[in-house]
Amino acid sequence: MIRFGRQRQRQAGNGPRHPRTTVRGSLHGRLKFVAIVLVLCSLALLARAFNLQVVDQAFYRRQGDARFLRDIPIPATRGMITDRNGEPLAISTPVESIWANPKELLKAPERLPQLAQALGMPLDELASRLSARADREFVYLKRRINPDEAARILALDIPGVASQREYRRFYPQGEMLAHVLGFTNIDDRGQEGLELAFDDWLRGTPGIKRVIRDNKGRIVENVDLVRPAQPGHDLVLSIDRRIQYLTYRELRNAIAETGASSGSAVVLDVATGEVLAMANLPTFNPNAVGSSPRDAHRNRAVTDLMEPGSTMKPITVAAALEAGVITPTTLFDTNPGWIPNGKYRTTDTHNYGVLDTTGVIRKSSNVGAALIARRLSNAQFDSFLRRFGYGRSTGSGFPGEAAGLFPTPDRWSGTSKQTMSYGYGLSVTPLQIAVAYAALGNGGLLHQPSFVKDQHNPPRRVLDPKIAAQVLQMMQTVTEPGGTATQAAILGYHVAGKTGTSRKASAGGYSRRYIGYFAGLVPVDHPRFAMVVAINDPDPTRKGYYGGVVSAPVFRNVMEGALRLMDVPPDDLPAWLAAQQAAEARRQPAAGVAQVASAAGVARAGGTP
């Protein structure tokens, strides 16, 4: 009983506990606590997962996409430029551009020397470029390189270095058409010439695609095409590559032979006003623009102003014929080879005596032109010249085209009209002269010049067709015996033209430097081409400086080739047939002499012929 009572006391807690029982109870409580904590953590993780995947799913998806999902541009191909016959003049070729993520690349500085060597750039320059843009995710390292070169760089597997497709403009004709076409910059945007004038038409619209990139910047998946690229439109020019080549070649030869500092030439289609050729020297290579001086980029035929000299005389004659103050047979006494003009003189190179209107043009008499202009009022002369486009832009649309300088009558001095009658006191471009002459050849219809084939270009009448025909007949005598431009004559064709030689203005007057012109139309019966050649600052000790000597041969050589290429039939058949007969007659005696020599040789050999 006593033992049983003590046992009950111990079981009731009144006595000391057994040590093993205490340890078991403590361990059980701890396990319970840990289990509760684990359950709570699991619940917290489940709640967080639910929050991430259901409640805030969109937010965290955007955050993830911001790190790996990118919208990148799809470059658009620039439209091709062709000549009127479909020959390519400017095309875009695919190239690669190497770029880097500075944040990733700078984490591997030990790879920079290898990358700098592959890029062909100094290490310090590469490091400086990356450091300056360390907070960015994109920087170009080398642009518009050959795809094979880009592949070699990417094969190095340098972190943060990648490439993207771009396009580079290529000009197959090189220097020959550089001034007309212009060029594009590194972003494929037109900078000069027709590339600039028609940039919106040629450029196209880049597309956008959504991709996933890895931490090295490589595209691992194309997610979506946001907007497809729209290629630029092709452009068909009025230029004929063959005539352009002839023009460039002959102008280059003339510059070399005369020692001139520069030159320009323009060929127009008389019936449409389309520019068939336009060449300038010095020129540049549009495929390597940076290697040429900036001054060489200027299209002198449309930007440079010069006094037109005697190319103005047919226009003066046409104005007087229209006003009815002269006829083709009106006589002018140019004795003694000069007349006063205020405190100055208007002089001729020779005393031509009495000349009719045709003789004034044939001999290029300054005195005769001045006497004609005296019969016109200031208003008549001013109105006529402006009708032919002098004093304003031709409307060709070429970037930087000059309007010329032609003061209004209220700003004329007492000598202005007289000097303007033979091409001094106003300034024009070679293109303006070509447009005016094309109007004479087109029966008095003037077209704005156009660089685009078959562009809607309605003409406006500026002169009666009968008067235009009369002036052409007078101009034809310039290239015939007794005229100032016999070197412009073309066998089988009647050529109408006019020489011009103007002294270059300098401080306080005129220098002993010259511009030699020839402006002409061929064939006279139905003019197809109008051409102007301007040779600037020829060396007088070589071929001289007169337009009939330095510029007329360029016209002849180019037009001979153009007439043949375009299958223009001769309009002077008697001269052509006579030349053919003379050539045949020369061949027959030569053939007879050769035959006699052959027979003699056989006889000496002991045989029979």
Enumerate the active-site residues: 310
DSSP string, 4-50: HHHHHHHHTTSSPPPHHHHHHHHHHHHHHHHHHHHHHHHHHHHHHHH
* DSSP 8-state symbol, 306: B
| 3-class secondary structure, 503 | strand
Contact between residue 445 and residue 435 where contact means Cβ atoms under 8 Å apart: no
- For residue 333, what are its two tokens? 């006494």
Residue 427 carries which side chain, given as an amino acid letter?
S
How far, in Å, CA of 196 to CA of 176, rounded? 18
* Three-state secondary structure string covering 121-181: CCHHHHHHHHHHCCCCCCEEEEEEECHHHHHHHHCCCCCCEEEEEEEEEECCCHHHHHHHH
From residue 547, how far is each of 343, 487, 502 by CA, in Å? 28, 10, 9
The total of other beta-carbon atoms located within 10 Å of residue 550's CB is 33
Helix-helix angle 430-441:465-476, to 10 degrees: 110
How far, in Å, CA of 456 to CA of 56, rounded? 62
Residues 6+ apart with CB under 8 A from 397: 197, 451
Residues 6+ apart with CB under 8 A from 41: none
Rg of the chain over CA atoms, in angstroms? Answer: 42
What are 278's strand-pairing partners?
266
| 3-class secondary structure, 407 | coil
How far, in Å, CA of 7 to CA of 563, rounded? 139
Contact between residue 405 and residue 311 where contact means Cβ atoms under 8 Å apart: no
How far, in Å, CA of 97 to CA of 147, rounded? 9
Backbone angles phi, psi at 569, to 5 degrees: -70, 145
How far, in Å, CA of 178 to CA of 292, rounded? 12
Question: How many Å is the maximal CA-CA distance in the chain?
Answer: 175
The sign of the CA dihedral 140, 142, 148, 154 is negative
